[in-house]
Amino acid sequence: MERYQLFIDGKFCDAESGETRPTVNPGNEEPIALVPVAGKGDTRRAIEAARRSFDEGTWAGMSPKDRAAKLMKVFQILKDKEADIAELESKDGGSTIRKTTMMDAPVGIEHFRLLVELGGSLPTYEPLPWVDFPFVSWNFVNREPIGVCAGIIPWNFPFMMAVWKTAPALIMGNSIVLKPASDTPLTALELAKAIAEADLPPGVFNIVTGSGSVVGPELCTNPMVDKVALTGSTETGRNVMRMASDTVKKVTLELGGKSPTLVLEDADLDIAVDGALFGTFFHAGQVCESGTRCIVPASIYDKFMAKMVERIGHIKIGDPQDFETTMGPVVSKTQLDTVTGYIDIGLKEGANLVCGGRRPTHMEKGFFVEPTIFDGVRNDMRIAQEEIFGPVLSVIRYDEVDEAIRMANDSIYGLGGAVFSRDVPRAIDLAKRIRTGTVWINDYHLLNALAPFGGYKQSGVGRELGPHGLLEYTQVKHIHVDLTADRSKKFWYNYIFND
Ligand code: NAP
Ligand code: MG
């Protein structure tokens, strides 16, 4: 079994305690590799290395173009390892090999390239309006890195999330300490190997695997850390924000969701039904922007539901390493218990179980649950308000579109959502009324490395991806150059001198 190591200050090493932990394949519950369990001391060493490397300024002081050139070497190494990353991602997190081959590995690696190229091309000099009255001055903004960033990531898209934290932090000139989720550290550790091979200055990139409750608080409270970027649950987000507040760290938080899929009467039903199913059941529902509340007009309700039940039969649940499988297990026993717990809650709340709700009978091992649909759901039920993070869809009926929008927005979350309609201008108007960070029209889940992604309300703070996301890894410095040559004409001259 492969035994992975931490990467601190340019060197691979074990945890100080020597402790390791196996990671498990959720498809068959078999261990696949050993990973160090880092403690507070290891985390502190990683933070100190990141601090020292940032303060020395080798990386931060390079031109964005030179940093991009170094990082493109990482991209090339990742590209050569694409098939291995896809396989490892599937084994570690239970994603289908279909998904990791078509998405996690190639798209994650492509996002690395796109973020590096975009970040490398953003100007560090931003002109401000010329000031010539009453005193002539030249003003501009200098974009600077923030310093030491901590990246804390979840288990649902482990490789992609490692890329989304690492590429922006590094291209904008920061140092980073990355903490993967305990259940899925392996592909982030492969990213560390690629970075080691590309020979970045020591301390610029560090990775610490260990428990969120030990490594997390150190990253969020250590005064040497300037920024924390978390993708995780809203509960962890609140915690991180609270811990980071003592030293007033910058935070970006990508948190939970309960996103609405709004179907209009004039929607192409084939596209709307498949889109709603994809929006919910992709990666067994373990996606933060999943469209877990499908809001359907009464006038087409029966037709829509009949088609949905027919189409759900085309989702093939099974061994995630089999290319024919389109839906795998959830990530862990804990997550499986959460999901089945919510199915019980839905039944107790009086929602109608249309299909699913059990363990698939043909899977003896692994953390599997059938794709599950409830209808007759009211938006105030717990299954419509709380994030389940599993393959459970709540269908809600509406009569008037204003009522549908009210329900769509009646949530503490605001991450994603969709409108399905043939009338695109109307769909755009409605998309503007949905209070979430992304709305797809006649589509779902497609994230674009050049477009901002993030949450309204309790779905998060700040944005990732695109120029908006990259600039979250910079500080804005105003530089004012006074051009008045004559001392007596300086603006301050008469304030404290009385000559
Ligand atoms: P989680 O429990 O919040 O964990 C996320 C990360 O935070 C993990 O690395 C975890 O470490 C760490 N962590 C746990 N406790 C911590 C603490 N006290 N201080 C600092 N870090 C701590 O979330 P999850 O269960 O892994 O992921 C599922 C959740 O993430 C869902 O709610 C989902 O909506 C959200 N999510 C959001 C997005 C988005 O972009 N908005 C994307 C993906 C997922 P351990 O693994 O060691 O516990
Ligand atoms: Mg695992």
Nearest CA to ligand 1 atom 9: 181
Nearest CA to ligand 1 atom 14: 212
368-402 pLDDT, tens digit per residue, is 999 999 999 999 999 999 999 999 999 999 999 99
**Sequence-separated (6 or more) residues with CB below 8 Å from residue 356:** 312, 369, 370, 371, 372, 373, 391, 392
pLDDT at 496: 86
pLDDT grade for 80, boundaries at 50, 70 and 90: very high
Burial, 485: exposed, middle or buried (Cβ in 10 Å; 0-12, 13-18, 19+)?
A: exposed
Nearest CA to ligand 1 atom 42: 288
d(CA 445, CA 382): 24
294-348 pLDDT, tens digit per residue, is 999 999 999 999 999 999 999 999 999 999 999 999 999 999 999 999 999 999 9
434-478 pLDDT, tens digit per residue, is 999 999 999 999 999 999 999 999 999 999 999 999 999 999 999
- Nearest ligand 1 atom to the CA of 464 is 40
pLDDT at 407: 98
Q: Which residues pair with 375 in a beta bridge?
A: 352
Q: Does the annotation mark 288 as catalytic?
A: yes
**pLDDT exceeds cutoff 90 at 135:** no
Return the ∠ at Cα 182 (arms to 230 and 33), rounded to 5°: 140
Query: Once rounded to an integer, what is the mean pLDDT over residues 26-33?
Result: 93
Find the 235 Cα to ligand 1 centroid distance in Å: 9
> Among 233, 283, 289, 465, which is best to mutate for testing ligand 1, by the most ligand atoms less than 8 A from CB?
233
Find the 331 Cα to ligand 2 centroid distance in Å: 7
pLDDT at 49: 98
Find the 5 Cα to ligand 2 centroid distance in Å: 16
User: Could you say which ligand is closest to the alpha carbon of residue 91?
Assistant: 2
pLDDT at 494: 84
Q: Does the annotation mark 254 as catalytic?
A: yes
3-state SS class at 433? helix
Find the 88 Cα to ligand 2 centroid distance in Å: 10
Tell me which of 48, 254, 370, 464 is the catalytic residue.
254
